[in-house]
């Protein structure tokens, strides 16, 4: 998400252009993905400030996403947008209290049991809620700046056991946990495995049947594994502590896996921000398909190609993908794209106890 290292992304783009990523972006295991063509169309374009992040489909059936800032700099606050399930824009809210002198952006991460949106705000590393009836924003928590490299960047969130909220941190290599009724966040898992080489921990989804989290990682700090991303599975023990981190899947170099969605079948659809593709994995991490088959160009058959796709959220049998254009910053590519994959998504987990404050 929301790349603090614009220069590093420019280098990625340059490297992609020089190599074509022809052999570079293949799966680490050597397996070949089957050819796949998923009908794709534009769900909605996204106006200024643009750079849409994760798309959230709420229990009320509406679709929500929010915006980030132009890496070149602007003075606009982030906006939260609301659409119907057919892509009709209904309302928007301007986010208050952002530090307009710093890189900023908002992720609509999930909903709580009261029907509020849970937002992750970058400039102040805060967790907010938005009451859709009153339009009121409320600060729920601020992520601490831990000793060591990096600064807090709240990225994705998911509800877990006991109605607690778990958050990935793109900048600090930690997964945070918030109490069910609100309060200060505490590190749930801090690990070198979650430390990225400028590109850190991204998506998180709770698997209720397995009592575990799936977590995506864009890069690691291992020099032998620096350019590859991963999908991890982290079990939650009976006492709530994290179990051992297991690798489910390893990406190709420069794929930069971002947000993902899980189907009812257990298949996982991951957005590859670095190579402008979607990847379909089996429940055990087996590579099943990549779309489009060729990297970088993002040619998907719609009026707007994939350009830094940052998530894959189910709406029925369709995936809604936020087209962030984080590397090139092409305003006409700032859009939500709709991709038909032919299987339904798993239900969103919103526990009854998920109320925060």
Residue 114, domain member (yes or no): yes
Segment 309-318 shows an average pLDDT of 98
Which pLDDT score is estimated for 34? Answer: 62
Segment 149-170 shows an average pLDDT of 95
Burial (CB < 10 A; 0-12, 13-18, 19+), residue 297, is: middle
Report which of residues 16 and 298 the model is more confident about: 298
Query: Structurally, how many domains does the chain consist of?
Result: 1
Report which of residues 2 and 135 the model is more confident about: 135
- How far lies 331's CA from each of 69, 116, 257, 288, 304, in Å? 11, 29, 22, 32, 11
Q: What is the pLDDT of residues 195-225, one digit of tens each?
A: 999 899 999 999 999 999 999 999 999 998 9
Which pLDDT score is estimated for 27? Answer: 45
pLDDT of 30 above 50: no
Per-position DSSP letters for 152-172, written without gaps between them: --EEEEEE-GGG-EEEEETTT
Which pLDDT score is estimated for 112? Answer: 95
Cα–Cα distance for residue pair 163/317, rounded to 1 Å: 27
Put residue 146 in one of left, alpha, beta given phi > 0 → left and psi -120 to 50 → alpha.
beta
- Residues in a beta bridge with 34: 289
Residue 292, domain member (yes or no): yes
- Residues in a beta bridge with 91: 82
Cα–Cα distance for residue pair 74/56, rounded to 1 Å: 25
Residue 353, domain member (yes or no): no
CATH of the domain at 258: 2.130.10.10
Confidence bin at 170 (pLDDT 50/70/90): very high
Confidence bin at 33 (pLDDT 50/70/90): low
Residue 285, domain member (yes or no): yes
Residue 154, domain member (yes or no): yes
Q: Phi first, then psi: what are they for 242, rounded to 5°?
A: -80, 140
Residue 168: CA count within 13 A, CB half-sphere:
30
Residue 308, domain member (yes or no): yes
Residue 347, domain member (yes or no): no
Cα–Cα distance for residue pair 135/193, rounded to 1 Å: 39
| pTM (predicted TM-score) | 0.92
Q: Which domain holds residue 212?
A: 33-340
Q: What is the pLDDT of residues 88-104, one digit of tens each?
A: 999 999 999 999 888 89
Residue 10, domain member (yes or no): no
Confidence bin at 289 (pLDDT 50/70/90): very high
Average per-residue pLDDT for the chain? 90
């Amino acid at each position: 998400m929301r790349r603090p290292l614009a220069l590093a992304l420019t280098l990625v783009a340059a490297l992609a252009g020089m190599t074509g990523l022809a052999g570079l972006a293949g799966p680490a295991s050597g397996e070949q993905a089957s050819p796949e063509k998923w009908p794709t169309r534009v769900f909605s374009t996204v106006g200024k400030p643009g750079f849409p992040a994760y798309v959230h489909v709420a229990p009320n059936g509406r679709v929500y996403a929010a915006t980030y800032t132009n890496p070149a700099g602007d003075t606009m606050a982030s906006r939260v947008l609301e659409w119907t399930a057919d892509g009709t824009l209904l309302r928007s809210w301007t986010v208050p209290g952002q530090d307009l002198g710093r890189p900023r952006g908002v992720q609509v991460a999930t909903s709580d049991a009261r029907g509020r949106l849970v937002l992750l705000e970058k400039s102040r590393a805060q967790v907010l809620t938005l009451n859709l009836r009153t339009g009121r924003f409320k600060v729920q928590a601020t992520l601490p700046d831990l000793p060591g490299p990096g600064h807090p960047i709240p990225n994705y969130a998911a509800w877990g056991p006991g109605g607690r909220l778990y958050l990935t941190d793109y900048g600090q290599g930690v997964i945070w946990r918030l109490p069910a009724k609100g309060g200060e966040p505490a590190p749930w898992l801090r690990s070198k495995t979650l430390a990225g080489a400028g590109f850190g921990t991204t998506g998180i989804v709770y698997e209720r049947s397995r009592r575990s989290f799936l977590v995506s990682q864009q890069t690691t700090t291992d020099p032998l594994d620096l350019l590859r991303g991963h999908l991890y599975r982290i079990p939650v023990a009976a006492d709530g502590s994290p179990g051992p981190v297991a690798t489910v899947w390893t990406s190709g170099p420069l794929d930069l896996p971002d947000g993902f969605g899980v189907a009812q079948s257990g298949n996982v659809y991951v957005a590859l921000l670095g190579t402008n593709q979607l990847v379909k994995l089996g429940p055990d991490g087996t590579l099943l398909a990549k779309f489009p088959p060729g990297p970088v160009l993002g040619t998907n058959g719609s009026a707007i190609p994939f350009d830094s796709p940052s998530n894959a959220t189910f709406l029925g049998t369709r995936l809604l993908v936020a087209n962030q254009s984080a590397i090139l910053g092409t305003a006409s590519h700032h859009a939500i794209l709709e991709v038909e994959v032919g299987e339904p998504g798993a239900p969103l987990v919103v526990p009854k106890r998920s109320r925060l404050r």
